[in-house]
Amino acid sequence: METINSVEAIMVRIGKCKKVKLEAEANGQKSTAYPIFSVTDVRKHTTKEDGIWVTYKDGVYNITDFVDGHPGGDVIMMAAGNAIDPFWNLYAVHKQPQILKILETYRIGTLSDADAEGDSSETLDPYAGDPKRNPSFIINSEKPYNGEPPLPMLVENFITPTDVFYVRNHLPVPQIDVEDYTLEIGGIGLRETSLTLDDLKTKFPKVSVTAAIQCAGNRRADMTKVKPVKGLNWNGGAIGNAVWSGAPLIDVLKFCGLTDLSKIRHIQFEGLDMDVTNVSYGASIPVEKLFNPHCDVILAYEMNGEPLPLDHGFPLRVIVPGVVGARNVKWLGRIILSEEESSSHWQQNDYKGFSPSIDWDTVDFKSAAAIQELPVISAICVPTNESNVKLKDGKLVVQGYAWSGGGCKILRVDITADKGKMWYTADIVNQEDAAAGRCWSWVLWKAEIPIDKNLKQTEIWAKAVDSNYNVQPESFENIWNLRGVLANAYHKIKINIVQ
Amino acid sequence: METINSVEAIMVRIGKCKKVKLEAEANGQKSTAYPIFSVTDVRKHTTKEDGIWVTYKDGVYNITDFVDGHPGGDVIMMAAGNAIDPFWNLYAVHKQPQILKILETYRIGTLSDADAEGDSSETLDPYAGDPKRNPSFIINSEKPYNGEPPLPMLVENFITPTDVFYVRNHLPVPQIDVEDYTLEIGGIGLRETSLTLDDLKTKFPKVSVTAAIQCAGNRRADMTKVKPVKGLNWNGGAIGNAVWSGAPLIDVLKFCGLTDLSKIRHIQFEGLDMDVTNVSYGASIPVEKLFNPHCDVILAYEMNGEPLPLDHGFPLRVIVPGVVGARNVKWLGRIILSEEESSSHWQQNDYKGFSPSIDWDTVDFKSAAAIQELPVISAICVPTNESNVKLKDGKLVVQGYAWSGGGCKILRVDITADKGKMWYTADIVNQEDAAAGRCWSWVLWKAEIPIDKNLKQTEIWAKAVDSNYNVQPESFENIWNLRGVLANAYHKIKINIVQ
């Protein structure tokens, strides 16, 4: 699941569950004001009927009235009758004063001394092994780490340098010793097979695919302006374009005995990144992606000519070009051919699109399709929103990127400085010469557009058109969705014109 | 090229060439008021330098100042130094009083008696062999015939009955004797091969594909409301969903010797329908469509289980599912594997999309990509625009279709009766259970939406979302283009609510 980074959104969300007493005392501390409970007492309370109790540090809490309103969904039930400390270590966004105060409003007791002393979760930081990241990144979440480059940095290179490529982690980066690493492959019609990294490098051809990968939540920050959504506040930098190299997935599966395709519907991928209950990150793609050699699905062990870095899935990640980042599973541990989609939270109850009129009270995740291919999108990277710009000979230089999922080519990017009265077609500065339907790379574009010199402020809009002649929607009002995914409306920025 | 059906558009267009004298005398008649010219005189005037002359009946016209403004483009130059009568017989839309009056303003002479008597073009109607059509169709052009069913008729069947399927002809229906018919196949890497219809039926497997075919100009009538465009005024019925059966194109090409694919870039198709200069209708598709078996390209000799009818390409038509109707060439006569796209007018100088700011003075057809896959679209078929409706229990029943090109599935259709404040998700009534990326059929949908009973009028909007999560653009202002193609903005109708 995606972590919650908007405290305001949480406050709004749970407002209906319980009036929040922000004056509540500091949290989880020993307090003689409450009854004493043992861990055994707490463990008895795991249902709505018995009450749902959790502990945090020394505090005991009855969160029965809160669980339905938990912005993170049902996952909160994993802590029922137990300590929430390890979960909060995993999803560190919870550790904010406002949320701690909310928790305190549910306090009913204090853990007995013996049990409280047994809790050492505070000392374990599952993110201790995470790698160092680009210090210039905008950090949307520290733990798990989610960071993006500032937009101007993105358009400096057609192939995004590895350390400029956004990082979207759902869980701590797993520490994998490549000597011990194996990829497990199984499911319908396959011999259960273990392959080492060396097997993957030596038994199969090495192919390279240049492909943009984008988070489903890219540009969510723009959608949020219409109405709050749940999700990381990506600004537009949650996309990058890299050269991925590795073994064709179809070759690997044939090696494992794939012959009868008739019963297979989905290819499931499991990562080696795990939550505190040892549940792996997981996702799946429809089998047609695999059977169609034009889809270029590979098991990548290299990114931009170097071994995959830790943040991008070392030692192995599946690359499904044209498909949302969430299905390009990192730290790949297992592949399963199945009749079913991945049962993971991220496939079933996240990364789906809904009508603007669906809210958290009415949402039925089963009613929507898991996001696979992403729609056409563009962003203005230079200048940035709200910046001061100087014109040159009455013109403004505008630069950005555009991309579309499913291998669709970008045909055109249109720019306007007067809300659409006059559209200028940008020059496509970089574009791969790819076959029709296999345009996996983004394009970088540039336009020099005349601006009325008398203006002190104006808006610049960008929209892209892809080879299906699909175009971005004009605004966010009618594509708004509660998770803030698929935020592909026109990119609109405001600039101040200075002399 | 598409014929011009809007006289107003032509009048606007040529206004800048010459002020029109609508009081001019009746056209093409003998007149002693003008000098007498022979056909030989006329034939000398074929360039701007020498003046561009044409004849119509007995009249001689110097159209030098008009050719740049001809709404039909360069095609007018085919008549330079010659009679326009055969062209006007072909594109009968010209034979309207307003256009005849415009012509008369360019009159400079009268044909000599001897030459005038030799003209018998008036008696030849190239459309005399056209078949009978559905009398309930809305006719957008008689010659060539272009007709569509009324919208409510479209949603009566998931598989559109053949006689309800829109007809979009560019030229007269060719009269083909199946005993003499052969399909010629050649080009890079192939043996020149002729196949009879019987060969196609007996040498190759017969496969069926259910696919919607749509004209690039469908729903142009809606786009025209923003600003006039050039093209037939399709209302929303230029789409249909049929079962097409025939031979897989890839099998046929392999039979003709296809082995080396490396130099082939495009598959060109030529129809047996021809203009007066014996130029065939033509189009092409990128070779990737062919090489990818998941694209399901077939040479169809059946439509809905019966031999193709005359209007739909008897005896053979190529079906390229997910791709604009213009590339699904009817009356197929020849297939050519090539490094180049079709050089036809319809591939090069028509059926392309442009920015809203491009007009007929600035358009460069070479700058844009030929339309292939079409974007996501929907239409409300019941009720119809401006109709009177009665509510049932305060609710309105709304029905329509939705489709997306490139094999994308329709995920959702949203309906609003209050301009987006509340969106209702329609029920998908009919949808084929197709594999991901091979959803060639349309869907039919239905919604029952509550309407405020106190309203006397309201608007109903529909928008569809496809499996790439692309969505229709909100309005036509920013997707307007001079040819009025790709008119896929939200469908918005007005209704009157009666008690």
Place of tokens 């001019």: B24
User: Tell me, what amino acid is at A77?
Assistant: M
- Percentage helix, strand, coil for chain B under 3-state DSSP, each rounded to 5: 20, 30, 50
Q: Indicate the pairing of strand B183-187 with strand B423-425.
A: unpaired
Nearest CA in chain B to A420: B478
Q: What is the pLDDT of residue B261?
A: 85
For the stretch B416-452, pLDDT in tens is 999 999 999 999 999 999 999 999 999 999 999 999 9
Q: Rounded to a whole number, what is the distance in Å from the CA of B337 to chain A's nearest CA?
A: 16
For the stretch B332-388, pLDDT in tens is 999 999 999 999 999 999 999 999 999 999 999 999 999 999 999 999 999 999 999
B45 is catalytic: no
User: Taking 70 as the threshold, does the pLDDT of residue B10 lie above it?
Assistant: no
Secondary element (H or E) of residue A372 = none
Question: Which residues lie closer than 8 Å to B290 by C-beta, 6 or more apart?
Answer: B249, B250, B253, B267, B297
- Percentage helix, strand, coil for chain A under 3-state DSSP, each rounded to 5: 20, 30, 50
How far apart, in whole angstroms, are the C-alpha atoms of residue A130 and residue A26? Answer: 30
Q: Which of B463, B468, B478 sits opposite A406 (nearest CB)?
A: B468
Q: What is the pLDDT of residue B31?
A: 66
Nearest CA in chain B to A292: B294
Nearest CA in chain A to B421: A357
State mean pLDDT over B97-120: 81
State residue B162 phi and psi, 5-degree precision. Answer: -55, -40
User: Tell me, what amino acid is at B114?
Assistant: A
- Between chains, do B411 and A479 touch, taking CB under 8 Å as contact? no
B334 is catalytic: no
For residues B280 and B274, the answer to whether their CB atoms sit within 8 Å is yes
Low-confidence residues in chain A, pLDDT < 70:
1-31, 116-123
For the stretch B452-496, pLDDT in tens is 989 999 999 999 999 999 999 999 999 999 999 999 999 999 999
Q: What is the pLDDT of residue B29?
A: 64
For the stretch A412-431, pLDDT in tens is 999 999 999 999 999 999 99
**Is A289 touching B (CB cutoff 8 A)?**
yes
B317 is catalytic: no
Count Cβ–Cβ pairs < 8 Å, chain A vs chain B. Answer: 139
**Is B362 touching A (CB cutoff 8 A)?**
no
Nearest CA in chain B to A405: B468
How far apart, in whole angstroms, are the C-alpha atoms of residue A373 and residue A406? Answer: 5
- Between chains, do B355 and A423 touch, taking CB under 8 Å as contact? yes
Higher pLDDT, A209 or B22: A209
Which of A288, A468, A481 would best serve as a mutation to test chain B binding (most B beta carbons within 10 A)? Answer: A468
Take residue A371 and report the two structure tokens written for it: 């996001």
User: Taking 80 as the threshold, does the pLDDT of residue B28 lie above it?
Assistant: no
The alpha carbon of B340 is separated from its chain's Cα centroid by a whole number of angstroms, namely: 22
* DSSP, res B173: P
**Is B431 touching A (CB cutoff 8 A)?**
no
User: Taking 80 as the threshold, does the pLDDT of residue B188 lie above it?
Assistant: yes
**Is A126 touching B (CB cutoff 8 A)?**
no
Question: Which residues lie closer than 8 Å to A161 by C-beta, 6 or more apart?
Answer: A304
- The CA distances from residue A352 to A355, B223, B437, B439, in Å, are 10, 32, 18, 20
DSSP string, A102-128: HHHTTEEEEE-HHHHHT--GGG--TTT
Secondary element (H or E) of residue B7 = helix B7-14
Average pLDDT, chain B: 91
For residues B26 and B58, the answer to whether their CB atoms sit within 8 Å is no
Secondary element (H or E) of residue B42 = helix B39-43
How far apart, in whole angstroms, are the C-alpha atoms of residue A366 and residue B245? Answer: 36
- The CA distances from residue A131 to A121, A175, A329, in Å, are 22, 10, 18
Tell me if ipTM is over 0.90: no
Cis peptide before B309 (omega within 30 of 0): no
Interior/surface letters A385-403, b for 16+ CB within 10 angstroms, e for the rest: beeebebeeeebebbbbbb
- Between chains, do B356 and A423 touch, taking CB under 8 Å as contact? yes
Take residue B66 and report the two structure tokens written for it: 């008009």
Report the predicted TM-score, pTM, of the whole model to 2 decimal places.
0.85
Share of chain B above pLDDT 70, in %: 92
Q: What is the pLDDT of residue A164?
A: 97
- Ordered alpha helix ranges (H), B258-396: 287-291, 345-348
How far apart, in whole angstroms, are the C-alpha atoms of residue A298 and residue A311? Answer: 18
- E strand residue ranges, A227-316: 239-248, 266-274, 280-286, 298-303, 306-307
For residues B190 and B256, the answer to whether their CB atoms sit within 8 Å is yes
Question: Which residues lie closer than 8 Å to B205 by C-beta, 6 or more apart?
Answer: B247, B248, B251
B 375-394: CB under 8 A from A: 375-376
Q: pLDDT tier at B87 (50, 70, 90 boundaries)?
A: confident
For the stretch A75-96, pLDDT in tens is 788 889 988 988 887 777 787 7
How far apart, in whole angstroms, are the C-alpha atoms of residue A342 and residue A281? Answer: 10
N-to-C CA span, chain B:
47
Q: pLDDT tier at B117 (50, 70, 90 boundaries)?
A: low
**Is A265 touching B (CB cutoff 8 A)?**
no
User: Taking 90 as the threshold, does the pLDDT of residue B253 lie above it?
Assistant: yes
Count helices and strands (H / E) in chain A.
Answer: 11, 28
How far apart, in whole angstroms, are the C-alpha atoms of residue B212 and residue B218? Answer: 13
Which of A227, A284, A469 would best serve as a mutation to test chain B binding (most B beta carbons within 10 A)? Answer: A469
For residues A219 and A229, the answer to whether their CB atoms sit within 8 Å is no
How far apart, in whole angstroms, are the C-alpha atoms of residue B121 and residue B116? Answer: 11
State residue B43 phi and psi, 5-degree precision. Answer: -65, -20
For the stretch B171-186, pLDDT in tens is 999 999 999 999 999 9
State mean pLDDT over B62-84: 86
* DSSP, res A371: P
Q: What is the pLDDT of residue A350?
A: 94
Q: What is the pLDDT of residue A313?
A: 98
